[in-house]
Amino acid sequence: MIQYVSNKGNGASVDFETAILAGRAPDGGLYVPTSLPRISKTQLQSWKNLSYTDLAFEVLSLFIDETTISSIELHKIIENSFDTFYHPEKIPFHSLTSRKNIIIQELFHGPTLSFKDIAMGFVVNLLDFFLKRRKEKMSIMVATSGDTGPAAAFATIGKETINTWALYPQGYITEEQERQMTTITAPNVHSVRVTNCPNGSDDLDELISSLFANTSFKQELNLSSVNSINWGRIMMQTVHYFYGYLKTVDTIGELLNFAVPSGAFGNLCAGSLAREMGLPVGKFILSNNQNNCLQRIFNEGIYVKEKVINCASSAIDISLPINFWRYLYFAIDQNPEKIKLWMEESEKNNRVEFDKNTHKQFSKGFLTASISDKLTLNTIQEVFETEGYLLDPHAAVAVAAANTVKAEFPNDSKILCLATAHPSKFSDVIKESLNVNALPAEAIHHSIENAKEYCQKIYECNYENMYQTIPKTMQVISNK
């Protein structure tokens, strides 16, 4: 049996189904598999020509027992989860001609046009499968910096087993992202706008953590989480690293570099696990905007929680990179006692200083860059003008970061830049970058246009009273 434990080490090990249904471990830690599967070069070679969904099946099978979900069922769940994608290949690629060796992996062709769709649809379908089998229902809560909310809301439309609460901080997400959530009419999907959040979605994550810690409330609503605390999200995100590698390299074994726009570190945690499993990665280029909390962790070995700055690449405006703790667990040879101490220190003091050895160990194989909004906007403009390819602000952060550190690489080494959103979700930034009033066709998507034609359905409350109003409202709705 493949077993899962909390990275803080408390509690017994659990099976896959329990870990996915719970979202977060009871001790407040993050679920991790007790060991990671290893992939040989021969196995990688044999995966070379698989479609994205067939590859996903191969990789995920390593984490899930046949007795939990049969192969046939798993195949079906994966296929269903990618049916809603707008591109037949699910995850296509684009080579930049003006920047040699930079290849874009387009992770944004899902139903809400962000990379969050890649794992969200699957995790929600997985939950639905388990809940139906157990004849249970649950409530899920997500806080969003812009893309998690729409992805969770969309994925749960019409699911009779799930009530969804998508909390978002007013003023920190784009109008397009807001409308993606609020124009959903399904009765089980609830969008909550919270005004006056001093620190954006991190404030809402703190509310959610406190509600999870409230045992009676949690039980009453059968509360769970589909943000990147849920192991299923990370597990699914390992697949696009394998896929990107297989589609990009000339020979298996060659090292490939990845530039990743990072906020909560879920995406890069998944990449690191793929490397740990045997994927030949050269360097990970950790790409931050001006919120450079992760850069500091990797460069200086210090975590400090700082005030969030509103940036053009708003989905990575994060000061709590929760999945760093999951990555760290594997980076320091699975020592849960240490993780527990550090996680508690970070919650108490908003600051952790790692010892030299630990810092050296976890920063191996990473380069970092923190990209200003000015450079982000310039990158969008330059790439569009030179070759007619439109980057969204997050992909632009990755491309700019790759450019910043390229002197560290031999000329011919390839860098795969992960493009995590479609530009149509960030129309104001695109207009500003290109200095235009009317959007180019590349920045328009019919689903975003469509959402403009509906009324919005929103619950609203203030940051000051959200600790009372949100749980009360949830109780009333769930008991209806």
Ligand X SMILES: *Cc1c(COP(=O)(O)O)cnc(C)c1O
Q: What type of residue sits at position 130?
A: F
With binding defined as CB under 6 A, does residue 114 bind ligand X? yes
Cα 91 to Cα 51, 61, 87, 372, 418, distances in angstroms: 10, 20, 7, 28, 11
Cα 111 to Cα 86, 222, 230, distances in angstroms: 7, 27, 20
**Contact by Cβ (8 Å): 47, 246:** yes
Cα separation, 166 vs 189, in Å, equals: 8
Cα separation, 381 vs 372, in Å, equals: 14
* Residue with smaller CB distance to ligand X, 265 or 409: 265
With binding defined as CB under 6 A, does residue 421 bind ligand X? yes
Cα separation, 304 vs 19, in Å, equals: 29
With binding defined as CB under 6 A, does residue 235 bind ligand X? no
* Residue with smaller CB distance to ligand X, 161 or 291: 291
* Residue with smaller CB distance to ligand X, 17 or 392: 392
With binding defined as CB under 6 A, does residue 116 bind ligand X? yes
* Residue with smaller CB distance to ligand X, 114 or 139: 114
Cα separation, 19 vs 353, in Å, equals: 30
Binding mask 134-163 for ligand X (x = CB under 6 A): -------------x----------------
With binding defined as CB under 6 A, does residue 370 bind ligand X? no
* Residue with smaller CB distance to ligand X, 266 or 471: 266
Q: Tell me which stretch binds ligand X (CB under 6 A): 125-133, 201-209, 255-263, 429-437.
A: 255-263
* Residue with smaller CB distance to ligand X, 261 or 471: 261
Indicate which single residue of 131, 181, 264, 434 sits in contact with ligand X (rule: CB under 6 A).
264
Please tell me which residue in 90, 116, 406, 414 is annotated as part of the active site.
Answer: 116
**What SS3 state is found at 229?**
coil
Indicate which single residue of 24, 338, 340, 394 sits in contact with ligand X (rule: CB under 6 A).
394
* Minimal distance, residue 234 CB to ligand X, in Å: 9
Question: Does the annotation mark 116 as catalytic?
Answer: yes
Whole-angstrom Cα Rg for the chain: 21
- Going by the DSSP 8-state scheme, the letter that residue 463 receives in this structure is G
With binding defined as CB under 6 A, does residue 266 bind ligand X? yes
Number of residues that bind ligand X (CB under 6 A): 17
With binding defined as CB under 6 A, does residue 267 bind ligand X? yes
With binding defined as CB under 6 A, does residue 314 bind ligand X? no
Indicate which single residue of 230, 420, 424, 433 sits in contact with ligand X (rule: CB under 6 A).
420
Q: Tell me which stretch binds ligand X (CB under 6 A): 19-27, 97-105, 112-120, 126-134.
A: 112-120
The string of DSSP codes covering 395-429 is HHHHHHHHHHHGGGS-TT--EEEEE-B-GGGGHHH
Cα separation, 461 vs 282, in Å, equals: 47
**Contact by Cβ (8 Å): 298, 286:** yes
**What SS3 state is found at 461?**
strand
* Active site positions, annotated: 116
Chain residues that interact with ligand X, rule: CB under 6 A: 114-116, 147, 228, 261-267, 315-316, 394, 420-421
